[in-house]
Amino acid sequence: MNELVFFINNVVISGAVSGSIYAIGAIGVTLVFSIMRFAHFAHADMMTFGALMVFMFTALFPGAGAALGIPTPLLMLPIAMVITAFLAIGIDKTFYKPLREHGVKPIVIVIASLGVTLMLQGLIRLFAGTSSRSMYIEERKEIFRIDMPFDLATRPIVITEPQITLIIFTILAVIGLHLFLNRTRMGKAMRAMSDNPDLARVSGINTNKVVVVTWILAGSLAAMAGTFLSMDVSLTPDMSFFLLLPIFAAAIVGGVGHPYGAIAGGFLVGYAETLSVFNWSILLRRVHHWFPEWMEIPRDLALVGSEYKIVVPFFILVAVLVWRPTGIFKGKVI
Amino acid sequence: MLAKLTEKFPEGLPVREVIVAALVFVAVLLVFASQGSAYSVRMLVEASCYAIIALGLTIQWGYGGQFNAGVMGFVALGGFCAMLFSMPVNPAFWGTELASDLGRVFLWALVALAIVIGASQLHRLGVPKKLRTTLTIILALLSWLILKSMFAPVTSAIESQAGYIGGLGMPAWVGWLVGGLLAGMVGYFVGHVCLGLRSDYLAIATLGIAEIIKAILKNEDWLTRGTATVSPLPWPTPGPGELGFVMARSIYLVITAVMIVAIFYLLQKAYNAPWGRMIRSIRDNEISAQAMGKDINKRRLEVFVFGCVLIGIGGGALTTFNGIFSPDNYLPLNHTFLVLVMVILGGPGNNLGTILGALLVYIIWVMSEPLALFLMQGGADLMTNWLGWEAPDNLSSRALQARVFVIGLLIVLVLRYAPKGLMPEKIKHVT
Amino acid sequence: MSLLNATQVEGGYGGMNILKGVDMAIDKEDIGVIVGPNGAGKSTMLKAIFGLVEVNGGDILLRDKSIKNSAPNKLVELGMGFIPQEKNIFPSMTVEENLEMGAYIKPHTTKTMLERIYSFFPPLLEKRKQPAGELSGGQRQMVAMGRALMTEPTLLLLDEPTAGLSPLYMQEIFDRIVEINKAGVGILMVEQNAKQALEIATKGFVLASGQNLYTDTGQNLLNDPEVAKSFLGG
């Protein structure tokens, strides 16, 4: 049964963790896409930025969380979300909006967003350097070990505190987003603008306001995803390039402009990654006696080595673009 | 006098061209005066390699309106081929069992490929499509796993006994050309998937393929020595050991300059030929071009692949000149975004503008490193003296980050205030 | 005082004037119909009134106040409604959400207005939870009209409301337009089905190459042999 525990630790839990992070990131990308019709490449750097803000505030008030009994980074998350939301609005006002009003092709705004990516990366590394840092400055990352009630399983299931909070926050974010998009006036206006921007304007919807709300959502969700990723592993200033591909793959798999699709896509990409780098020979060894004598089970039976993790989202992306460019949930036809 | 000139240039004096060219010339002179000729010629050679790469991107972005966000990957492919073809033959690999072992694995790979392809055609024998797809996927996964476990001992034996498979002992230019072809093939694959879709997808996919190419070159030690790097790469011309730095580099510069002139000539011809007109009409008005019955996706694929070939060739020439193949040296900043700045600043779709832009931007780029460090140092000194604030110790790496910011800012500013670059594409109006 | 009074309107896209001095006046009790050949600037005129096309000359007055180049959401607040020719619904949203979007600027009246729209277009009531994109052409047109009526406009602009509809639905839509007008909403519409539209028109405008050619009551235009020969197909 230890093998099963191993599987749960390395696939079920770690897939859920990266899936949640990709899902939250992909929601932001897909929202920006459906409202402003361009692929926002600077999204991953807004994630890094948000995490950095949390880190800075945690470094400033390292003991603040202990007083309330929660990890300090978690306490600082709302502040970072607000700051990142403002950053997102500011970036749009200074860089994207003038181009949009100039009526350029969407791909030009995509390039501009790459310029913004570089600016953010430069700033982040200018202030934070390039080394990775732990988000837990004065605290210890709490690790839960759950022993299995079987005699055969001697090893526990391991899950950390940030992983649990991440999964809870993801569920909350999804419910919140669902309620926002279906129950509130602003949420419906966002859906309307994603459906038919011209008619939204004609209906008297203030499209500029919708754009601002979109950036608030995208920015704060980005800060959340970046913070949880950094809490789970560590804060690495140049993590963004490795996040971009899985997040875009998730958004496209789910169907661009389709928030629920982005969530499903995030988990799909997350689980595909962990399943591909998982060493299956560990599970097969248990059932070795089923195989004929001459068959040896190689020690390494992972589909790809962990150094090639990035190939997985790319492969998914290509497969979707070839067979179903609108995504599995039929997103926007674009 | 003036009247004569305007007669000679019916479309107006090429003022912009002259100014930009003069600017480049002055910058080159300044570098020569301040840094000495060995350094300056090296910079010029690198700049000319960048100009070839930039010409590749200007075809894709300027002619075709396709945005390639993964120039780095194609540059690295060119560099890899330059290394593979030009390095001397490694007797520790070719003279031993290792070569035949590796060959056997590749043969098995071909067999596996044939089986999988065969399985994917099973529907022709009346097998239901769903069953066929499942069967194909299972077979593909299984053969992939089997091949992987056959491959691993061979490659680790190569790594431990021979270091890596070594080169093919051919002239470097063969490697450049093959690098261009390989880059073109990868470009064909990516373009084939993405070019019928929205242009954003191409940007995402190229960004991804660049990181994947880099990951492969970095981790397949048996092929590339990975992070251990391969050097020195032989030049196609006499090396500095025989002629001294200035002379050897100058000869290399002659080669790259000839390449630029040849490519420039071909591009000018193509641009004004019916092919070029068709490409531009597709870029400017897709719907009407479609209505005229032009096979848009095929033309776009041609443009994209052609651009990738040039980028691969330029990357090969650059890597050979640097004399070292190190996968970690290929950076998105240096090999994707710097090239992008060269193109959009020089003038997308304007070949001369792109070449001049490449020279100018590269000179500024190289010179900005000491400048940024100087400024940072000055600022830090001020802070220390006035405020008693301790400067962080790793100033030089932070100065590099300041350049990242500047490149980003430059991209955004050019897009907004000079979307056509210093030298806009000349559109001839048929009257 | 006319409800809408446009004088010598010039305008178009990107500095190119498609409209070269068009006059148009509509009262509360009017149904104005713009007819004319393709490319005459009919839709452009409608869009110019609604701030979707840049106006470079002349003036457009709504209740004697200039609304030239106003943003569409401002015009909705001033009591105008606009129904584009195609893409005039939010396809992935339900019928009810479509209507709610119509009342976006007047959220407090949504409930009562929804009831009125449903009683006016009964088929929409039973389909109110369905995505609008799944409805038939005629029902979509009802959703589009319902959406525009949600703000209780005093002037409704319609761009070819019967385009692509079967003759049966076409008559139905015209009947509805007359009913809406009787309830006190000024109507200005562009119509390809010129004859049927002029039947119900109190004012007809024949445009050709961006200028007024004829302006008269609908009936008079129908009876004018010149108009009939050139624009109504004999």
* pLDDT average, residue stretch B171-193: 94
Residue C11's DSSP bridge partners are: C19, C55
Domain that holds residue B49: 23-90+164-417
Q: What's the longest Cα–Cα distance across chain A? A: 75
Question: Domain boundary at B111, B137, B163, which?
Answer: B163
pLDDT, residue A334, reads 40
Residues in C lying within 8 Å of A, measured between beta carbons: 50, 52, 72-73, 76-77, 82, 84, 87-93, 97, 100-102, 104-105, 107, 147, 151
Residue A129 lies in a domain: yes
d(CA A167, CA A145) in angstroms, rounded, equals 17
Confidence category of residue A77, pLDDT binned at 50, 70, 90: very high
Residue B294 lies in a domain: yes
- Both C222 and C181 in a single domain? yes
Question: Domain boundary at B163, B192, B213, which?
Answer: B163
Smallest CA-to-CA distance from B421 within B354, B368, B362 is with: B354
Domain that holds residue C141: 86-148
Smallest CA-to-CA distance from C98 within C80, C78, C83 is with: C83
Query: Do C and B touch (≥3 CB pairs < 8 Å)?
Result: no
Instruction: Flag if B204 and A245 touch (Cβ within 8 Å).
Output: yes
- Both B241 and B275 in a single domain? yes
Per CB-CB distance under 8 Å, the chain B contacts of A108 are 415, 419
B71, B341, B404, best to mutate vs chain A, most A CBs in 10 Å: B404
The first and second tokens of residue B293, run together, are: 């019955």
With a cut of 70, say whether residue C17 has pLDDT above it.
yes
* Neighbors of chain B with 3 or more C-beta pairs under 8 Å: A
* pLDDT average, residue stretch A51-74: 87
CATH number at residue A223: 1.10.3470
How many angstroms separate the Cα of A45 from the Cα of each of A100, A251, A309, B249, B305? 21, 17, 20, 40, 30
How many other CB atoms are there within 10 angstroms of residue B44's CB atom? 23
Residue A245 lies in a domain: yes
d(CA C99, CA A144) in angstroms, rounded, equals 51
Smallest CA-to-CA distance from C34 within B390, C43, A170, A100 is with: C43
Question: Domain boundary at C102, C130, C148, which?
Answer: C148
- Both C9 and C101 in a single domain? no
Confidence category of residue A330, pLDDT binned at 50, 70, 90: low
With a cut of 90, say whether residue B315 has pLDDT above it.
yes
Per CB-CB distance under 8 Å, the chain B contacts of A122 are 401-408
CATH number at residue B276: 1.10.3470
* Neighbors of chain C with 3 or more C-beta pairs under 8 Å: A
More confident residue, C60 or B81: B81
Min Cα separation A263/chain C (Å): 19
pLDDT, residue B389, reads 60
The first and second tokens of residue B393, run together, are: 């110790």
Cβ-contact C156, C127 below 8 angstroms: no
CATH number at residue C25: 3.40.50.300
- Both B155 and B195 in a single domain? no
Tell whether A295 lies on the interface with B, counting CB pairs under 8 A: no
pLDDT, residue B431, reads 37
Per CB-CB distance under 8 Å, the chain B contacts of A102 are 416
Region class of B225: left (phi > 0), else alpha (psi between -120 and 50), else beta: left
Residue A332 lies in a domain: no
pLDDT, residue C15, reads 67
Rg (CA), chain C: 17
Question: Domain boundary at C148, C164, C180, which?
Answer: C148
Smallest CA-to-CA distance from B187 within B306, B332, B25, B9 is with: B306
Query: Do B and A touch (≥3 CB pairs < 8 Å)?
Result: yes
Tell whether A310 lies on the interface with B, counting CB pairs under 8 A: yes
End-to-end C-alpha distance for chain C, whole angstroms: 36
Tell whether B141 lies on the interface with A, counting CB pairs under 8 A: yes
- Both B131 and B280 in a single domain? no
Q: pLDDT tens, B409-428?
A: 989 999 988 888 888 877 65
With a cut of 70, say whether residue C234 has pLDDT above it.
no
d(CA B339, CA B273) in angstroms, rounded, equals 26
10 Å CB burial of residue C7 (0-12, 13-18, 19+) is: middle
- Both C72 and C169 in a single domain? yes
- Both B410 and B305 in a single domain? yes
d(CA B388, CA B386) in angstroms, rounded, equals 6
Q: Please identify which residue in the block is written with the tokens 């107006």.
A: B12
Per CB-CB distance under 8 Å, the chain A contacts of C87 are 196, 198-199
Instruction: Flag if A303 and B144 touch (Cβ within 8 Å).
Output: yes
pLDDT, residue C2, reads 80
Instruction: Flag if C105 and A200 touch (Cβ within 8 Å).
Output: no
Confidence category of residue A333, pLDDT binned at 50, 70, 90: very low
The first and second tokens of residue A318, run together, are: 């290509």
Instruction: Flag if A112 and B198 touch (Cβ within 8 Å).
Output: no
Residue B323 dihedral angles phi and psi, to the nearest 5°: 80, 0
Instruction: Flag if B203 and A107 touch (Cβ within 8 Å).
Output: yes
In sequence order, which residues have a C-beta less than 8 Å from that of residue C8 and are 6 or more positions away?
Answer: C21, C22, C23, C57, C58, C59
B153-180: buried (b, 16+ CB within 10 Å) or exposed (e) per residue? ebbebbbeebbbbbbbebebbbbbbbbb
| Percentage of residues of chain B with pLDDT beyond 70 | 91
Look at residue C217 and give its three-state secondary structure.
Answer: coil
C-alpha B308: how far from its chain's center?
Answer: 7
Cβ-contact B108, B145 below 8 angstroms: no
10 Å CB burial of residue A295 (0-12, 13-18, 19+) is: exposed
pLDDT, residue B4, reads 54
Residue B147 lies in a domain: yes
* Amino acid identity for residue B105 in this structure: V
A199, A201, A207, A213, best to mutate vs chain C, most C CBs in 10 Å: A199
Report the mean per-residue pLDDT for chain B: 86
Contacts by B91-96 with C-beta closer than 8 Å and gap 24+? Answer: B92/B161, B92/B162, B92/B163, B92/B166, B93/B158, B93/B162, B93/B164, B93/B165, B93/B166, B94/B166, B96/B161, B96/B162
Question: Where is B255: in which H helix or E strand?
Answer: helix B245-272
pLDDT, residue A104, reads 86
10 Å CB burial of residue A257 (0-12, 13-18, 19+) is: buried
pLDDT, residue C35, reads 85
Q: pLDDT tens, A299-311?
A: 777 888 888 888 8
Edge-first strand listing for the sheet containing C186-190: C80-83, C155-159, C186-190, C31-35, C203-208, C211-216
Residue A334 lies in a domain: no
Q: In this predicted complex, what is the ipTM?
A: 0.88
* Closest Cα in chain C to A204: C73
Rg (CA), chain A: 21
Domain that holds residue A51: 2-323
- Smallest Cβ–Cβ distance between A204 and the set C87, C100, C104 belongs to C104
d(CA B147, CA A281) in angstroms, rounded, equals 15
With a cut of 60, say whether residue A84 has pLDDT above it.
yes
The first and second tokens of residue A222, run together, are: 């980005």
Min Cα separation B411/chain A (Å): 5
pLDDT, residue B264, reads 93
In sequence order, which residues have a C-beta less than 8 Å from that of residue C19 and are 6 or more positions away?
Answer: C9, C10, C11, C12, C41, C44, C45, C48, C210
Q: pLDDT tens, B7-35?
A: 555 555 677 788 888 888 998 888 888 88
Kindly report the three-state secondary structure assignment for every residue of A291-316.
Answer: CCCCCCCCCCCCCCCHHHCCHHHHHH
Residue B426 lies in a domain: no
How many other CB atoms are there within 10 angstroms of residue B15's CB atom? 9
* Neighbors of chain A with 3 or more C-beta pairs under 8 Å: B, C
Instruction: Flag if A111 and B405 touch (Cβ within 8 Å).
Output: no
Residue B429 lies in a domain: no
pLDDT, residue A127, reads 80
* pLDDT average, residue stretch B98-106: 90
Instruction: Flag if C93 and A202 touch (Cβ within 8 Å).
Output: no
Domain count, chain C: 2
Q: pLDDT tens, B348-400?
A: 888 898 999 999 999 888 887 777 777 777 777 777 777 666 656 666 677 77
Question: Where is A210: in which H helix or E strand?
Answer: helix A207-232
Min Cα separation A206/chain C (Å): 7
- Both B349 and B206 in a single domain? yes
Tell whether A204 lies on the interface with C, counting CB pairs under 8 A: yes
Domain count, chain B: 2
Question: Domain boundary at C148, C167, C193, which?
Answer: C148
C54, C73, C158, best to mutate vs chain A, most A CBs in 10 Å: C73
| Percentage of residues of chain A with pLDDT beyond 70 | 96
Question: Domain boundary at B120, B136, B163, which?
Answer: B163
d(CA B121, CA B128) in angstroms, rounded, equals 11
In sequence order, which residues have a C-beta less than 8 Å from that of residue B246 and are 6 or more positions away?
Answer: B37, B38, B41
For residue B167, the 8-state DSSP code is B
* Closest Cα in chain A to C133: A195
Interface list for B 360-389 with A (CB within 8 A): none
* pLDDT average, residue stretch B75-81: 96
- Both C28 and C136 in a single domain? no
More confident residue, A156 or A21: A21
With a cut of 60, say whether residue C192 has pLDDT above it.
yes
* Amino acid identity for residue A149 in this structure: P
- Both B64 and B110 in a single domain? no
- Both C64 and C166 in a single domain? yes
Instruction: Flag if A204 and C91 touch (Cβ within 8 Å).
Output: no
For residue C79, the 8-state DSSP code is T
Residue A55 dihedral angles phi and psi, to the nearest 5°: -60, -45
Residue B78 lies in a domain: yes
- Smallest Cβ–Cβ distance between A199 and the set C77, C90, C97 belongs to C90
With a cut of 50, say whether residue C168 has pLDDT above it.
yes
Residue A315 lies in a domain: yes
Domain count, chain A: 1
pLDDT, residue C219, reads 78
Alpha-carbon dihedral A158, A160, A164, A165, rounded to 10 degrees? 180
Residue A185 lies in a domain: yes
How many angstroms separate the Cα of A78 from the Cα of each of A72, A75, A87? 11, 7, 14
Confidence category of residue A213, pLDDT binned at 50, 70, 90: very high
Report the mean per-residue pLDDT for chain A: 87
d(CA B336, CA C125) in angstroms, rounded, equals 56
- Both B289 and B142 in a single domain? no
d(CA A114, CA B339) in angstroms, rounded, equals 13
Min Cα separation B152/chain A (Å): 9
- Both B48 and B143 in a single domain? no
The first and second tokens of residue A294, run together, are: 């001459």
Tell me the count of A-B CB pairs closer than 8 A: 154
Q: pLDDT tens, C76-128?
A: 888 888 998 888 899 889 999 999 998 888 888 888 888 888 988 888 899 98
* Closest Cα in chain A to C110: A185
pLDDT, residue A49, reads 94
| Percentage of residues of chain B with pLDDT beyond 90 | 38
Question: Where is A146: in which H helix or E strand?
Answer: strand A143-146
Tell whether A186 lies on the interface with C, counting CB pairs under 8 A: no
Residue B10 lies in a domain: no
Confidence category of residue C18, pLDDT binned at 50, 70, 90: confident
In sequence order, which residues have a C-beta less than 8 Å from that of residue B70 and are 6 or more positions away?
Answer: B205, B206, B207, B208, B209, B210, B211, B336
